[in-house]
């Protein structure tokens, strides 16, 4: 068992093993302490949402090895699906979340049907092009999406949770509800990584030709992974729609696609915990630096570059590597 | 060739298969039969087209012309992942494993490919009945059991070659294609590998590509010689040894 997600990757960790075995629980614990360590609560919610988004992206990039530059389409698509369900159809909040998740999956099925025949730069470009088309579509379809003003009025006031009424306008109650939902999503993600499909995903990343020779359909594996990844991204988008009571057109912007790539790399691609670490660090950088200077993005960019140059495996990836080496030297 | 008589003894047949790369013909009109439960070796100098021919047999490449028939079924152009399910498995001349996965997981994943739940995304993989045990057996057979928890990348070269075979065997293949399994091995490792192959040939139909002629003469039932993409000779090792053309084009080049 290990945090790279592969029970099969043969590495002898002792220190990390308990965390690794209960990786979803460990992340939930992290989520639980988050609101107390962040300067204010909205930041914690932000980390929660982007952490889930990045975890979904990581399934595709870190575990399967496909770099998508169009994940905004899945995140924003989920946000709009949820928002439209609530604003235009008056559906309840849980239907909004379900439709957001399904929306993310449907869009990735559409994009994936074409894009998963390719890989590398071609895959990145096709996903980017699709995401840009969706941006344009949302921009034009004002009647549905509110166009450039965004979709307003995604208001949820009360939430009946197993007959327990919850005041959704109370940020603390909202945080716990969202934390619980993200926790469930992470359990599902952990289960996927542990499943037979999880083994295939790693096999395809490790050696595509070999996976094919074993009898796996590589294109189908890519498509399934992309759709699952889209589900997590879509749910994250839907949660954001509920959190902000509005869906802005920026959720579909390519900057959002870039953001999730950066968060994942910063935290450690291909590790279970990494995306959350990346989302947290990124949110903190933004929060702290934007107080100092309006040019905070310049600083964030510089920090990101330093990380890519000197910690290519990301923060969490580096910690894992370090503890692994320490144990190797101790046991030898 | 008399089909009726050969019918059951022949597992695989190629009929005038060719493969070109642009203007270059890597395999030219090769017509051949492979007998069930026998070890057939394909020899030939570097660049003779042996690997390309294997790629055609295993479905990794489509023939430009000709037909391939597995038992009475035309499998020309069938994609590789379907052929695996029909019982054709192969190892690669250049080691092709899942480097970061353990030896055990390499074989387990290959076994999983043949189960119905191969793409199941919900059940824990450890619950797929018997796969890990079967994988352990195959590692035992190929002498890698004590190394089962090591990542494939951390194995010695000879061990990796043996793991290749364990992975190929995972498909419970009716036809096992081995492309130069001894490539880059020490004489000691080579002897070990040859022993393993002879053992396998007792239970499987094995087609072995090798360019060192000496290695295969003692163990093969039939030998085929490829040269410049053409099948220039085919017969028992004894016949091949006596063949004038073979001596000239092949022995003359390689074993002086
Ligand atoms: N994908 C390809 N594109 C172009 N030419 C190719 C391709 N694959 C093989 N060839 C050419 O076809 C010829 C036969 O190659 P092949 O690999 O089949 O030979 P081989 O008999 O396996 O040789 P070796 O003993 O070196 O493994 C070579 O000249 C090679 O350069
Ligand atoms: Mg070859």
Q: ipTM, 2 decimals?
A: 0.84
| pLDDT computed for residue A68 by the predictor | 96
Return the bridge partners of B90, or none: B177
With 60 as the cut, is the pLDDT of residue A14 above it? no
Residue range(s) defining the domain that contains residue B22: 1-87+173-256
**B22 lies in some domain:** yes
State whether B147 and B215 are in the same domain: no
B25 and B142 belong to one structural domain:
no
Half-sphere exposure of A4 toward its Cβ, with a 13 Å CA cutoff? Answer: 21
Q: Are residues B149 and B223 in the same domain?
A: no
Residue B92 lies in a domain: no
Considering the domain architecture, whether residues B75 and B191 belong to the same structural domain is answered as yes
Mean pLDDT in residue range B23-29? 96
CATH of the domain at B207: 3.40.50.300
Fold of A3-331: ABC transporter involved in vitamin B12 uptake, BtuC (1.10.3470)
Instruction: Please tell me whether residues B251 and B125 are part of one structural domain.
Output: no
More confident residue, A127 or A166: A127
Q: Nearest ligand to the C-alpha of residue B91?
A: 2
pLDDT digits (tens, 9 = 90+) for B219-232: 999 999 999 999 99
Contacts of A139 (CB under 8 A, 6+ apart): A145, A147, A148, A249
Cα angle A187-A188-A190, degrees, rounded to a multiple of 5:
65
Q: Would residue B143 count as lying in a domain?
A: yes
Burial classification of residue A165, based on how many CB atoms lie within 10 Å of its CB (0-12 exposed, 13-18 middle, 19 or more buried): exposed
Q: Which residues line ligand 1 (CB under 6 A)?
A: B 21, 24, 26, 44, 46-52, 93, 211
Please check whether residues B112 and B206 belong to one and the same domain: no
Domain boundary among B168, B192, B226: B168
Q: Which two tokens stand for residue B184?
A: 């880059």
Give Cβ neighbours of residue B8 (< 8 Å, ≥ 6 apart).
Answer: B36
- Kindly report, residue by residue over B152-188, the tens digit of the pLDDT: 999 999 999 999 999 999 988 899 999 999 988 889 8
- Among A41, A10, A321, which Cα is nearest to A171's? A41
The answer on B145 and B119 residing in a single domain is yes
Nearest residue to A133 (alpha-carbon basis) of A54, A64, A70, A191? A70
**Which of B100, B101, B120 lies at the smallest CB-CB distance from A195?**
B120
Domain end position, chosen among B145, B168, B191: B168
- Domain total of chain B: 2
Nearest to A50, CA basis, from A178, A159, A148? A178
Quick check: A287 pLDDT over 60?
yes
Tens-place pLDDT, residues A146-159: 888 899 988 888 77
| pLDDT classification of B255: cutoffs 50, 70, 90 | very low
Asked if pLDDT for residue B247 goes beyond 90, the answer is no
Interface of A with B (CB under 8 A): 6-11, 191-192, 194-200, 202-203, 206-207, 209-217, 220-221, 224, 228
Contact yes or no for B121 and A228 at CB 8 A: yes
Q: Using only the alpha carbons of chain B, give its radius of gyration.
A: 18
Q: Is the pLDDT of residue B250 over 80?
A: no
CA B11 to ligand 1 centroid distance, Å: 26
Whether residues B81 and A6 touch (CB distance < 8 A) is answered with: no
Give the model confidence (pLDDT) of B91-131 as tens digits: 888 889 999 999 999 999 999 998 999 999 999 998 888 99
Which ligand 1 atom is the nearest neighbour of the CA of B48? 21
Output the residue whose Cα is nearest ligand 1's atom 18.
B49
CA A92 to centroid of chain Cα atoms: 24
Q: Is B255 inside any structural domain?
A: yes
pLDDT recorded at residue B171: 81
Domain end point (choices B168, B187, B202): B168
B104 plus B178 within the same structural domain: no
Residues of B with CB under 8 A from a CB of A: 58, 60, 80-81, 84-85, 89-90, 92, 96-102, 104-105, 108-110, 112-115, 117-126, 128, 149-151, 154, 167, 170-171
- CB contact (8 A) between residue A228 and residue B81: no
Could you tell me if B11 and B78 lie in one domain? Answer: yes
- Check whether residue B1 and residue B79 sit in a common domain: yes
- The answer to whether residue A15 scores a pLDDT higher than 60 is no
Q: What is the pLDDT of residue A252?
A: 96
Q: Which of A150, A152, A128, A130 is nearest to A139 (CA)?
A: A150
Say whether B109 and A10 touch across the interface (CB within 8 A).
no
Q: Find the range with the poorest average confidence among A28-37, A82-91, B41-50, B53-62.
A: A28-37
Q: Are A216 and B113 in contact (CB < 8 Å)?
A: yes
If one residue of B27, B43, B49 were mutated to test the ligand 1 pocket, choosing by the most ligand atoms within 8 A of its CB, it would be B49
Q: Is B114 domain-assigned?
A: yes
Highest mean pLDDT among A11-15, A236-240, B9-13: A236-240
State the pLDDT confidence band at A136, using cuts at 50, 70 and 90.
very high
| Closest chain A residue to B99, measured at CA | A206
* B177, B183, B185, B190: CA torsion to nearest 10: 40
Mean pLDDT value across residues B29-55: 93
If pLDDT is split at 50, 70 and 90, which confidence band does B5 have?
very low
Report the percent of chain B where pLDDT is more than 70. Answer: 94
Average pLDDT of the residues in B189-198: 91
Alpha-carbon distance of A198 to A81, in angstroms, equals 28
A138 CB neighbour count, 10 Å cutoff: 25
- Yes or no: say if B15 and B70 are a contact pair by the CB < 8 Å rule: no
pLDDT band at A332 (very low <50, low <70, confident <90, very high): low
User: DSSP string spanning B122-178?
Assistant: SS-GGGSTTHHHHHHHHHHHTT-GGGTTSBGGGS-HHHHHHHHHHHHHTT--SEEEE
Chain A residue numbers touching B102 (CB-CB < 8 A):
8-10
- Of residues A63, A59, A83, A82, the one with CA closest to residue A71: A59
Q: Please indicate, yes or no, whether residues B37 and B76 belong to a single structural domain of this protein.
A: yes
Contact between chains at B114 and A215 (C-beta distance less than 8 A): yes
DSSP-derived pairing of the beta strands B65-70 and B73-74:
antiparallel
Range from A7-11, A190-194, A270-274, B185-189 carrying the lowest mean pLDDT: A7-11
Residues B108 and B58 in one domain: no
A-B contacts at Cβ under 8 angstroms: 121
């Amino acid at each position: 068992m290990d945090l790279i997600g592969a029970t099969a990757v043969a590495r002898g960790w002792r220190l990390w093993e308990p965390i690794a075995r209960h990786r979803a629980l460990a992340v939930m614990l992290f989520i639980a302490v988050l609101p107390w360590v962040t300067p204010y609560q909205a930041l914690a919610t932000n980390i929660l949402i982007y952490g889930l988004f990045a975890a979904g992206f990581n399934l595709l990039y870190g575990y399967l090895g496909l770099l998508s530059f169009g994940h905004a389409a899945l995140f924003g698509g989920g946000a709009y699906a949820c928002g439209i369900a609530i604003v235009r159809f008056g559906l309840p909040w849980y239907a909004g979340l379900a439709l957001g998740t399904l929306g993310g999956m449907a869009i990735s099925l559409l994009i994936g049907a074409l894009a998963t025949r390719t890989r590398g730069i071609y895959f990145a470009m096709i996903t980017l092009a699709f995401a840009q088309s969706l941006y344009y579509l949302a921009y034009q379809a004002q009647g549905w999406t509110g166009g450039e003003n965004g979709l307003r009025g995604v208001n949820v006031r009360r939430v009946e949770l197993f007959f327990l009424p919850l005041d959704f306008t109370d940020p603390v109650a909202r945080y716990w509800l969202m934390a619980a939902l993200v926790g469930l999503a992470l359990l599902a993600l952990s289960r996927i990584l542990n499943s037979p499909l999880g083994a295939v995903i790693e096999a395809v990343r490790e050696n595509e030709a070999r996976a094919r020779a074993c009898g796996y359909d590589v294109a189908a594996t890519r498509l399934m992974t992309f759709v699952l990844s889209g589900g997590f991204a879509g749910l994250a988008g839907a949660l954001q729609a509920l959190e902000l009571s509005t869906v802005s057109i920026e959720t579909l912007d390519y900057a959002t696609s870039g953001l999730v790539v950066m968060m994942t790399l910063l935290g450690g691609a291909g590790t279970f915990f990494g995306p959350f670490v990346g989302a947290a660090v990124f949110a903190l950088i933004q929060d702290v630096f934007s107080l100092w200077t309006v040019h905070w993005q310049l600083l964030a960019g510089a920090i990101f570059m330093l990380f890519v140059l000197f910690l290519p495996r990301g923060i969490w990836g580096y910690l894992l590597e370090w503890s692994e080496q320490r144990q190797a030297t101790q046991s030898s | 060739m008399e089909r009726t008589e050969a019918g059951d003894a022949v597992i695989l047949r190629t009929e005038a298969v060719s493969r070109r790369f642009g203007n270059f013909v890597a395999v030219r009109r090769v017509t051949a039969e492979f007998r069930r439960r026998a070890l057939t070796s394909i020899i030939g100098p570097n660049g003779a087209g042996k690997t390309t021919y294997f790629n055609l047999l295993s479905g990794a490449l489509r023939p430009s012309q000709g037909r391939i028939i597995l038992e009475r079924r035309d499998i020309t152009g069938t994609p590789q992942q379907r052929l695996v399910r029909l019982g054709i498995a192969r190892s690669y001349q250049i080691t092709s494993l899942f480097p970061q996965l353990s030896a055990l997981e390499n074989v387990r994943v290959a076994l999983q490919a043949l189960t119905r739940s191969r793409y199941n995304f919900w059940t824990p993989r450890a619950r797929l009945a018997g796969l890990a045990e079967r994988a352990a057996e195959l590692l035992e057979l190929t002498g890698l059991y004590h190394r089962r928890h090591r990542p494939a990348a951390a194995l010695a070269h000879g061990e990796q070659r043996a793991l290749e075979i364990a992975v190929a065997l995972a498909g419970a293949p009716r036809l096992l294609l081995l492309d130069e399994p001894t490539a880059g091995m020490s004489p000691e490792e080579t002897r070990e590998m040859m022993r393993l192959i002879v053992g396998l040939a007792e239970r499987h139909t094995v087609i072995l590509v090798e360019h060192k002629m000496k290695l295969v003469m003692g163990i093969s039932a039939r030998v085929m010689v490829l040269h410049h993409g053409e099948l220039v000779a085919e017969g028992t090792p004894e016949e091949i040894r006596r063949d004038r053309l073979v001596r000239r084009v092949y022995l003359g080049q390689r074993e002086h």
